Amino acid sequence: MKRWVFTLVAVVLCLTLLAGVVVYYNASLVNSSLNRKSLFVLSAPVAQPILSRVLPVFESKYGVEVHVSYGASGSIFATLKLRNASVDLIIFASEDWGGRAEAEGLVFNESKSVFAYQLAVVFVREGLQGIACVDDLARPGLKIGIVNPKVAPIGYEALHYFNQSKSSEKIKSNVVYLAKDVGELVAVFKTGALDAIVAWHVYYEQLRNISYVVYPWSCGYRYNIYGLVGYVAKASTQPELAQELLNFIVYSDVSKDVMKDLGYFTSVDEVLSYVSASFKG
């Protein structure tokens, strides 16, 4: 009888100790999660190749979790205007959207950083002959895709090219797909559903095996230079940490090497040299 009682007591004690360990372990996990620093970034999709390689380095070095949501610059601006949006860092695809955010008091103006310059080019499906310049996009039956110009700089740069053509209306009538952002547009082009798209030059590596590039400036079209524009959001609860992240993205040697490797321009002079070389080509 005594042996049975002792056994029962031992079992109860073991279960009690085990329960205590589980509770302590769970509490430790909760505390660790609560103490872990994190930042939230809203970014234009054209920055995704950079961020996907740079952010893990920053997270490892500083012990900070960085969460990113991608969307067209206009959509990012609309989210910021909600005022209750929980966001620390903003990356627009152009300075004009940044200017709007400054005017609305949504970002810290002094945190503005311009980096990773790009140009808009035309990607034409491999095998489709006779498309040498923007004017040729007026060919009947051609299926063109662009990004919604109301929310994305790459969209209104496409219209900027189209409107310079003597066949502007015919080109616009060939636009059969209006994407919400450039990431979506490139994905659809990869399926073979479109004959041509206007996208940033940095997508060349992704599309080189299924397309060739038309450079609008090589046949006299005016072009604009775009740079990614980063800001610390006024809504940030950790503005100093957000600024540290922005500095890392823009100025660190790691980031600069990644930008060069991916084909982004690090200065306006680099852009002008590229334009000159492609014009001669």
When pLDDT is averaged across residues 1-6 and rounded to a whole number, the result is 43
**pLDDT value of residue 83:** 65
Residues of the chain with CATH 3.40.190.10: 37-117+227-280, 120-219
Identify each DSSP E strand in 58-154 by its residue range: 64-70, 89-92, 113-118, 120-125, 144-147
This prediction has a pTM of: 0.81
Task: Tokens for 7, please give them.
Answer: 């056994």
Look at residue 213 and give its three-state secondary structure: strand
How far apart CA 139 and CA 135 sit, in angstroms, is 8
User: From 3.40.228.10, 3.40.190.10, 3.30.70.100, 3.40.630.190, which CATH number describes the 120-219 domain?
Assistant: 3.40.190.10
CA distance 189 to 42: 25
- Provide the mean pLDDT of the chain: 88
Comparing CA positions, the residue from 142, 214, 150 lying closest to residue 181 is 150
Q: What is the pLDDT of residues 188-222, one digit of tens each?
A: 999 999 999 999 999 999 999 999 999 999 999 99
Picking from 5-9, 152-156, 184-188, 237-241, which range would have the lowest pLDDT averaged per residue?
5-9
What confidence category does residue 82 fall into, taking pLDDT thresholds of 50, 70 and 90?
Answer: confident
C-alpha to C-alpha distance for 228 and 206, rounded to whole angstroms? 20
**Per the structure block, which two tokens stand in for 73?**
């610059």
Using one digit for the tens of pLDDT, what is the confidence trace for 131-145?
Answer: 999 999 999 999 999
**278 falls in which pLDDT band (50, 70, 90)?**
confident
Fold category of 37-117+227-280 in CATH: D-Maltodextrin-Binding Protein; domain 2 (3.40.190)
